[in-house]
Amino acid sequence: MKTIQTDVAVIGAGTAGLAAYRAAIAAGKRAVIIEGGAYGTTCARVGCMPSKLLIAAAEAAHEARHTAAFGVHVDGPVRIDGREVMARVRSERDRFVGFVVRGVENIPESDRLLGHAQFIDNTILQVGADTTVRASRVVIATGSRPAVPKAFDVFGDRLIINDDVFAWEDLPRSVAVFGPGVIGLELGQALSRLGVRVRVFGVSGSVGPLSDPAIRAYATQAFNREFSLLPDVRVSDMRREGDEAVITFEDADGTVVTERFAYVLAATGRRPNVDKLALENTALALDARGVPVFDPVTLQCGDAPVFIAGDANDVLPLLHEAADEGRVAGENAASWPQVRPLARRAPLAVVFSDPQIAMVGQRFADLTPGSFVTGEVSFEDQGRSRVMLKNRGLMHVYADRATGRFLGAEWMGPRAENIAHLLAWAYQQGLTIAQMLAMPFYHPVVEEGLRTALRDADARLTQLKQAA
């Protein structure tokens, strides 16, 4: 049995864990990083990057099918080679993972421990069968994994998660997707555009991260022009027959339908990877999910020298948030018992569908009714969007009635990923609608649609002042 003494032990070598380790080292502390699986972040291996590779192939296929409206005619049908598509996805995915792995391998070998960590007490860890780590502080950065309802077990090996999609060597003929969240929408639309028969099932009416009913309804209609999206469906039977998943459900018009699929993709959320850490051996209070109760501002678990960052705490499971949280968790672990608050950036979320979906700042659902005005724009007649035949979308921007300050936005529309950054910067700077309208807008650009929504909000604010 080997014993290692260290100032900070970081469990998990993903985005948050690597940031925590580097922050602790930069603060002059001795630190070790422990990984129980293969190196490579969720983003690089099974998340952001491979999904965008699949989406890029899908967009290429979609654009090739829709050139005639420009007077550009491609002879013959578009041919999609599923094996070539997936070969590029896997190859480029492995390249991105390689960058991460090389970064981890640059960490001194003495600071890297391979093996599953379990708590013996608050700051003593058992790693594998032969190593004990005695730390002064611990950072939990173990990430998350897909959460699959038990009822889906009936599908056996016809049931997959997003991790499995990126290991495919060829595209299947059909997939049922459960969960119209970010993962379900992105993969569902991409597979549909690549020639896979797709149905996306939901149970609560949600569509991506949207909370504004008007934007959610618009998005539902937009997606249903390409593939079947049933955001609030009643499924009466699920079973497996041979090599097929069989699902009976009520269609949009109430008709009972039974369909067969090659696979069922469960995109039904994620759960923190904390259940195998033996947290019961610590004095930490745990919530209903088994996650240590922590301060979301300092990331400290109770009053113990234990911190939790990234997807493991499930506050904002996004790469840039995980990196920020990991850095602050590492700094606070290094400086404990002195800790400092995490200054969070402007809330920002993007779904890489087509049209894209984005949210910035405060959600519609979190705003107090009567305290704000809504500015609106449709992208259907927006100049640059129509030129590119990308003229689908609806945007709402929210402004405080009393101060005119920009509060947030939810929308579906072209180039939302770019517009979202402009709005996130404006929100983080605390700008008013008037100050945003004083900024330059070039012509002709998609951002002129944003200006229209801001002008609409400004007009509503002016009406309120005149009526007062």
What's the number of CA atoms in the CB half-sphere (13 Å) around residue 129? Answer: 0
Per-residue pLDDT band at 44 (split at 50, 70, 90): confident
CA distance 329 to 307: 6
Residue 243 has pLDDT above 90, yes or no: yes
Same-domain pairing of 357 and 252: no
Q: What are the φ/ψ torsions at residue 111 (nearest 5 degrees)? A: -95, -5
* pLDDT tens string 355-413: 999 999 999 999 999 999 999 999 999 999 999 999 999 999 999 999 999 999 999 99
In a domain, 342, yes or no: no
Same-domain pairing of 7 and 132: yes
Report the CATH number at residue 392.
3.30.390.30
Q: For residue 129, what pLDDT is reported? A: 92
In a domain, 96, yes or no: yes
Same-domain pairing of 35 and 108: yes
The token pair that represents 202 in the structure block: 């939901």
In a domain, 9, yes or no: yes
C-alpha closest to that of 250 among 240, 259, 239: 259
The token pair that represents 54 in the structure block: 């699949």
CA distance 236 to 231: 15
Same-domain pairing of 396 and 449: yes
* pLDDT tens string 106-149: 999 999 999 999 999 999 999 999 999 999 999 999 999 999 99
In a domain, 450, yes or no: yes
Average predicted confidence (pLDDT) for the chain:
96
Q: For residue 96, what pLDDT is reported? A: 92
* pTM recorded for the entire structure: 0.94
- Provide the β-strand partners of residue 411: 358, 395
Domain boundary among 311, 335, 359: 335
Which residue range is the domain that position 226 belongs to?
A: 150-268
Same-domain pairing of 372 and 456: yes
Instruction: Please tell me whether residue 134 adopts helix, strand or coil conformation.
Output: strand
* pLDDT tens string 322-358: 999 999 999 999 999 999 999 999 999 999 999 999 9
Sequence-separated (6 or more) residues with CB below 8 Å from residue 352: 51, 52, 55, 186, 417
Instruction: Give 302: exposed, middle or buried? Use CB within 10 Å, 0-12, 13-18, 19+.
Output: middle
Per-residue pLDDT band at 40 (split at 50, 70, 90): confident
Same-domain pairing of 92 and 166: no
Q: For residue 318, what pLDDT is reported? A: 82
Residue 244: how many other CB atoms lie within 10 Å: 17
Over pLDDT 70: what percentage of the chain? 100
**CA quadruple 301, 347, 218, 202: dihedral, nearest 10:** -20
Instruction: With beta carbons less than 8 A apart as the criterion, state whether 161 and 148 touch.
Output: yes
In a domain, 343, yes or no: no
Per-residue pLDDT band at 255 (split at 50, 70, 90): very high
Domain boundary among 268, 290, 307: 268
CA distance 24 to 21: 5
In a domain, 341, yes or no: no
Q: For residue 316, what pLDDT is reported? A: 81
Same-domain pairing of 10 and 107: yes
Instruction: Please tell me whether residue 296 adopts helix, strand or coil conformation.
Output: coil
What's the number of CA atoms in the CB half-sphere (13 Å) around residue 53? Answer: 23
Q: For residue 5, what pLDDT is reported? A: 97
**Overall domain count for the chain:** 3
Instruction: Please tell me whether residue 162 adopts helix, strand or coil conformation.
Output: helix
Residue 66 has pLDDT above 90, yes or no: yes
Same-domain pairing of 161 and 63: no
- If you ran DSSP here, which 8-state letter would residue 115 be given? S
How far, CA to CA in Å, does 110 sit from each of 30, 31, 134? Answer: 11, 10, 15
Same-domain pairing of 281 and 264: no
Long-range Cβ pairs for the range 118-123 (8 Å, 24+): 118/276, 118/277, 118/278, 118/281, 119/277, 119/278, 119/279, 119/281, 119/282, 120/278, 120/281, 121/281, 121/282, 121/283, 122/282, 122/283, 122/284, 122/304, 122/305, 122/306, 123/9, 123/305, 123/306
CA distance 384 to 17: 43
With b for 16 or more beta-carbon neighbours within 10 A and e for fewer, the 199-212 pattern comes to bbbbeeeebbbbbb
Residue 42 has pLDDT above 90, yes or no: no
Same-domain pairing of 324 and 426: no
CA distance 111 to 121: 21
Same-domain pairing of 447 and 367: yes
Q: For residue 38, what pLDDT is reported? A: 85
Q: For residue 181, what pLDDT is reported? A: 95
In a domain, 440, yes or no: yes
CA distance 232 to 273: 29
What's the number of CA atoms in the CB half-sphere (13 Å) around residue 230? Answer: 18
Residue 226 has pLDDT above 90, yes or no: yes
Same-domain pairing of 120 and 234: no
Residue 41 has pLDDT above 90, yes or no: no
Per-residue pLDDT band at 301 (split at 50, 70, 90): very high
Residue 35 has pLDDT above 90, yes or no: yes
CA distance 94 to 133: 32
- Provide the β-strand partners of residue 33: 10, 112
Report the CATH number at residue 22.
3.50.50.60
Residue 62 has pLDDT above 90, yes or no: yes
CA distance 158 to 264: 6
**DSSP codes joined into one string, 190-217:** HHHHTT-EEEEE-BSS--TT---HHHHH
* pLDDT tens string 312-322: 998 888 888 99
Name the strand (E) or helix (H) holding 126: strand 124-127
CA 102 to chain centre: 25
Per-residue pLDDT band at 252 (split at 50, 70, 90): confident
Domain boundary among 281, 307, 335: 335
